[in-house]
Amino acid sequence: MPRFKSNTKLKPIKKADLQVVKPVKTTKYSDINLNAWKDYDHIKTDTLWEFPQRLREHGHSNEYHGNYIPQIAQQLYERFTKKGDIVLDLFFGSGTSGIEAINMDRRCIGVELKPELAEKVSEKFTPKQLVTDVNIICADSASEIAVEKIKTRLEIMGEEKAQLLILHPPYDDIIKFSDRPEDLSNCENTEKFYDLFEQVAKNGYNLLEKGRFAALIIGDSYKNSEVQPLGFECMARMMRLGFRLKAIIVKDIQGNEKAKGKTANLWRYRALAGGFYIFKHEYVMVFQKV
User: What DSSP assignment string belongs to 13-58?
Assistant: PPGGG----PPP---TT----GGGGGG-TTS--SSEE--SS----T
Tell me: pLDDT of 76 over 60. Answer: yes
* pLDDT value, residue 265: 84
For residue 253, what pLDDT band results from cuts at 50, 70 and 90? confident
* pLDDT value, residue 55: 63
pLDDT, mean of residues 275-281: 92
Pairing of strands 86-89, 107-112: parallel
Average pLDDT over the chain reads: 89
Instruction: Write out pLDDT tens, residues 115-128.
Output: 999 999 999 999 99
Sketch the domain layout of the chain as residue ranges. 46-289
112 against 54, higher pLDDT: 112
User: What DSSP assignment string belongs to 83-147?
Assistant: TT-EEEESS-TT-HHHHHHHHTT-EEEEEES-HHHHHHHHTTS-HHHHHHTEEEEES-TTSHHHH
One-letter amino acid at 197 equals F
Tell me: pLDDT of 188 over 70. Answer: yes
d(CA 237, CA 253): 24
Tell me: pLDDT of 7 over 90. Answer: no
Record: fold of 46-289: Rossmann fold (3.40.50)
* pLDDT value, residue 174: 85
> Considering Cα of 261, then 267, then 269, then 271, what sign does the dihedral take?
negative
Tell me: pLDDT of 53 over 90. Answer: no
Percent of the chain having pLDDT more than 70? Answer: 85
* pLDDT value, residue 69: 93
